[in-house]
């Protein structure tokens, strides 16, 4: 078969983290729609494989994007070079993916990203000051893709009946990256919020990782109606729970992006450690409270805004 009759081969690179991967789903959909007949491969990491499969956008999913060291990069070079991709969309745009591009010389594929010398650079010197969603949309525009939709998790399906949640329920995300405690609203504030939401008729449901179970137990200790699901949900289940939620409230952390894109009315709490103009949640119904000191943000204020957002 001549090369002209072979489907176009496209590679998308997006490795992590959770919030960043969620924000990249819109660009991935734009690439899929633009290259309607192409065979698209995704290079990612294991936590996102199940979600990527559910999209139906990819012929192949590689989960070894975090191969370590020079030997790992060289192995990826061989893997990518051997696949003979026609175009690579680098949505990770990291130093590591820049090195990967350089290792593909002297005949690299056409490449959208920030790698030095690539064919379709995101040539905006202020790109790092942009919100991730806007930055990636502009990157694709410079590569010839005119429109990029917002990420939409309506395609996700999962059976969450085992959690036996009764509506209305409010999802609370009191944790976040362990090495960034300054991004967290105080636990005592979440306790007070849970009590106020329960009084308003909602069931507070705590979400997070396994290492955040203690946060959920602390909230349950003061709010008997609360349910602790920290460490019990997959990314896919998070999205389905978000779809049915009356409300979600949480810190600047990955699960809040999942819930917002799933359609939950989302109230995200930001302190000075992160900038919502660059990384704030987006979705169907999102409100951000940004303050100079999260410790001074009262549970009463958050409860009032939460109930307005949930229209209760």
**Are 178 and 300 found together in one domain?**
yes
**Residue 216's CATH number:** 3.40.50.2000
**CA-to-CA distance for 310 and 179, rounded, in angstroms?**
31
Over residues 56-99, the pLDDT tens digits come to: 999 999 999 998 889 999 999 999 999 999 999 999 999 999 99
Res. 4: pLDDT tops 60: no
State the chain's mean pLDDT as an integer.
96
**Are 117 and 46 found together in one domain?**
yes
**Are 225 and 105 found together in one domain?**
no
**CA-to-CA distance for 295 and 177, rounded, in angstroms?**
18
Residue 248: φ, ψ to 5°: -135, 140
The CA distances from residue 162 to 50, 141, 232, 237, 255, in Å, are 19, 43, 11, 11, 20
**CA-to-CA distance for 143 and 148, rounded, in angstroms?**
12
Burial class (CB in 10 A: 0-12, 13-18, 19+), 163: middle
Res. 2: pLDDT tops 80: no
**CA-to-CA distance for 236 and 20, rounded, in angstroms?**
16
Count: domains in the chain: 2
Q: Is residue 147 part of a domain?
A: no
Point out which residues pair with 29 in neighbouring strands. none
Q: Is residue 149 part of a domain?
A: no
**Are 211 and 84 found together in one domain?**
no
- As a residue count, the chain comes to 312
Rounded average pLDDT over 177-202: 96
| Helices vs strands, H then E, count in the chain | 11, 12
- Are β-strands 9-13 and 247-251 bridged in parallel, bridged antiparallel, or unpaired? unpaired
Domain, as residue range, for 132: 3-142
- What DSSP designation does 3 have? G
pLDDT at residue 6, rounded to an integer: 66
Res. 1: pLDDT tops 60: no
- Is cis: bond before 81, omega within 30 of 0? no
Residue 227: φ, ψ to 5°: -120, 135
**Are 114 and 193 found together in one domain?**
no
Q: Is residue 300 part of a domain?
A: yes
Token pair belonging to 18: 């959770």
What Rg, from alpha-carbon coordinates, does the chain have? 21
Q: Is residue 275 part of a domain?
A: yes
**Are 138 and 175 found together in one domain?**
no
Give the sign of the dihedral formed by CA 252, CA 296, CA 214, CA 244.
Answer: negative
């Amino acid at each position: 078969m001549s090369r002209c009759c072979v489907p176009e081969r496209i590679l998308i690179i997006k490795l992590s983290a959770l919030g960043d991967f969620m924000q990249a789903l819109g660009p991935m959909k734009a690439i899929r729609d633009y290259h309607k007949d192409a065979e698209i491969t995704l290079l990612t990491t294991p936590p996102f494989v199940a979600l990527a499969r559910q999209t139906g956008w990819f012929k192949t999913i590689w989960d070894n994007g975090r191969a370590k060291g020079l030997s790992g990069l060289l192995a990826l070079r061989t893997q990518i070079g051997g696949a003979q991709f026609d175009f690579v969309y680098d949505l990770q745009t990291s130093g590591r993916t820049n090195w990967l591009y350089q290792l593909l010389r002297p005949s690299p594929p056409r490449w959208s990203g920030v790698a030095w010398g690539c064919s379709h650079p995101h040539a905006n010197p202020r790109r790092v000051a942009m919100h991730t969603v806007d930055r990636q949309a502009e990157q694709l525009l410079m590569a010839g893709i005119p429109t990029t939709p917002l990420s939409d998790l309506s395609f996700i399906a999962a059976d969450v009946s085992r959690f036996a949640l009764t509506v209305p329920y409010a999802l609370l995300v009191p944790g976040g990256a362990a090495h960034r405690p300054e991004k967290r609203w105080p636990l005592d504030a979440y306790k007070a919020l849970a009590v106020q939401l329960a009084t308003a008729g909602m069931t507070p449901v705590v979400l997070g990782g396994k290492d955040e179970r203690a946060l959920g137990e602390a909230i349950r200790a003061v709010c008997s109606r609360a349910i602790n699901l920290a460490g019990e949900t997959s990314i896919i289940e998070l999205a389905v729970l978000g779809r049915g939620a009356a409300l979600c409230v949480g810190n600047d952390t990955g699960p809040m992006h999942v819930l917002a894109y799933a359609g939950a009315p989302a109230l995200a709490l930001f302190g000075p450690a992160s900038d919502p103009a660059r990384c704030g949640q987006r979705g169907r119904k999102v409100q951000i409270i940004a303050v100079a000191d999260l410790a001074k943000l009262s549970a009463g204020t958050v409860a009032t805004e939460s109930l307005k957002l949930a229209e209760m």
